[in-house]
Structure 1
Amino acid sequence: MPTPPPTGPLVTRDSLAEGLRSLGVQPGETLLVHSSLSALGWVNGGAVTVVLGLLDALGPDGTLVVPTQTGDLSDPALWSNPPVPEEWWAAIRATMPAYDPLVTPSRGVGVIPETVRTWPGAHRSAHPQTSFAALGPRAAALVDGHAPDCRLGERSPLAQLERTGARVLLLGAGFDACTSFHLAEYRIPTPLVEVGRPAPGGAWETVPEVSITSDRFDELGHDFERDRPVVRGRVGAADARLFPVADAVAYAERWLPVHRPREEGLFAPARPAPRRRP
């Protein structure tokens, strides 16, 4: 069958930057972006065009931050999409390459964050499973100091983004992708879990971590934008939302203990690792 023609709208670097400015993105600000390339329409130049448009809207004094998570650097015993045979687990743990911020690709967060990660001048944080990458004058200050035993808490870039007045841009992504909500999980009574991952030198290490999950983040986001000022609009074909990191964290701190209490059992050890490519 012939390939169907692309659906629009046609998105260019200039039209994307103009759409972001119309939404309310300000030159010089710091923006944490969660994105979906396919939601934007037909983007001439793909992810590179999106990054260029974001940088144009932010200007030379602005800073772009994206999640560059690597959930596949995790214990194969927890993999479920798909699982692997139990008899493989020991060999996988013994041979899995350790995290290297310069070469380890992001996984499960989309092509736009991976494009930022490899952009000239990008800085990337040191956490082996929940890193962030950033471009701009505040990039290094935001991602440096990401503690290896603090995925998304007080010693992660999320807390730095909150303190410095950064905003979140959901660009074709839903509230289930909003990592800022996870910072609230570190500020309410939450169980600790043992998290396994590869370590430098071919070792396997296990560290205690706060249990995090995105369960019910879509409901949390629905209530958040009902009760708090969230800028909404469209960029290309994508629904877009813009709001302060600090507002999202503060709202989640109040919402989670009421709507997702510990006894529900929803504080899972970790999000299941993404499907591994053969």
Structure 2
Amino acid sequence: MDEMALLKRSGGPVTRSRISRDLAALGLGRGDVVMFHTRMSAIGYVPGGPPTVIGALQDVVGPAGTLMVTCGWNDAPPYESVTWPQEWQDALRAEHPAYDADLSEADHGNGRLPEALRRLPGAVRSRHPDVSFAALGAAADALMADHPWNDPHGPGTPLAKLVALGGRVLLLGAPLDTLTLLHHAEALAEAPGKRYVDYEQPVLEDGRRVWRRFHDIDSQEGAFDYTPVVPEGEEPFAVIARDMLAAGIGRRGEVGAAESYLFEAGEAVAFARAWIEGKLAG
């Protein structure tokens, strides 16, 4: 979408001060620990791009607050590489660079904001290559420390710590199905048919590149088979989030031209876990 179209849709430039005012009206406040997901094009024309959005968020949460994003690793070895001819697999394993929390790019599929935030001075990124998060602010070190190698969406993870710190999740123009926090609910949920994956990726240990094996819920294809309880063509997380909003959990508002949502992390996880266990109990 070109700049003029964005300007018309948002009624003019969506400046830093305008974003700050809209975020405050939505309910974000000083000292908040907030994980955010953003779709820039939904907001409208933002002068300065991602740094403007990050700056506006910092203006609202203040120096005592913390911003958090989901990063992943854009150049991680493809999962399907285990099906390649052995010669190709051997070449990949011999030379694929290790994940580097300081240098490895965030997954481009997560948008521009995670990469922009993780590059900022003072930002801290977690050590898990496939499920890395980044944070900036007062609680950044605490959130990112000792990200478990296995079950990286479960207890002791940045998502679990976000809940423990009374954190919040902001969908800034991003669709409801991007609510990554719900993977934490899946990791905690006790329901039949939970699906897991095992995979290997290269990491640095004591300065050496090694291939480490990981065990996690299947966050790519789905930790559960939701087809019996989710209408065809719908995304499970979007359905759960809509039911959450209908139950009075979460707030909706506009930031620029973007339909946006603010959830309390603890309430969202509790609701989603109960939803999963109740719907999939068998």
- AA aligned opposite 1:198: P
**SS of the counterpart of 1:127?**
coil
Shift in Å, 1:164: 1.0
Shift in Å, 1:4: 7.3
**SS of the counterpart of 1:194?**
strand
Alignment gaps of 5+ in structure 2: 223-234
Structure 1's 86 and 12: CA in aligned 2 closer, same or farther, altered over 3 A? Answer: farther
Match of 1:222 in 2: 242
Shift in Å, 1:110: 0.9
- Spell out the pairing of 1:31-42 with structure 2 (5 A cutoff): 31-42=34-45
Q: Does 1:236 align with 2:240?
A: no
Shift in Å, 1:91: 2.4
Shift in Å, 1:239: 0.8
**SS of the counterpart of 2:36?**
strand
Match of 1:192 in 2: 196
Task: Provide the aligned C-alpha RMSD in A.
Answer: 2.3
Shift in Å, 1:176: 1.4
Alignment gaps of 5+ in structure 1: 264-278
Structure 1's 39 and 260: CA in aligned 2 closer, same or farther, altered over 3 A? Answer: farther
CA deviation vs aligned residue, 1:205-264 (integer Å, no higher than 9, x gap): 322223334551111111111113311010001111001111111111111234457x9x
Match of 1:178 in 2: 179
**SS of the counterpart of 1:186?**
helix
CA deviation vs aligned residue, 1:85-139 (integer Å, no higher than 9, x gap): 8864442333221111111110121111111100111111111111111111111
Q: 1:31–1:169: 8 Å Cα contact kept in structure 2?
A: yes
- Percent identity, aligned pairs only, is 36
Q: Does 1:73 align with 2:101?
A: no
Match of 1:273 in 2: none
Aligned length: 257
Q: Does 1:19 align with 2:18?
A: no
Q: 2:75–2:104: 8 Å Cα contact kept in structure 1?
A: no
Match of 1:7 in 2: 6
Q: Does 1:208 align with 2:215?
A: yes
Match of 2:141 in 1: 140
1:64 to 54, 62, 67: 67
Shift in Å, 1:66: 0.9
Moved more, 197-206 or 170-179: 197-206
Q: 1:30–1:62: 8 Å Cα contact kept in structure 2?
A: yes
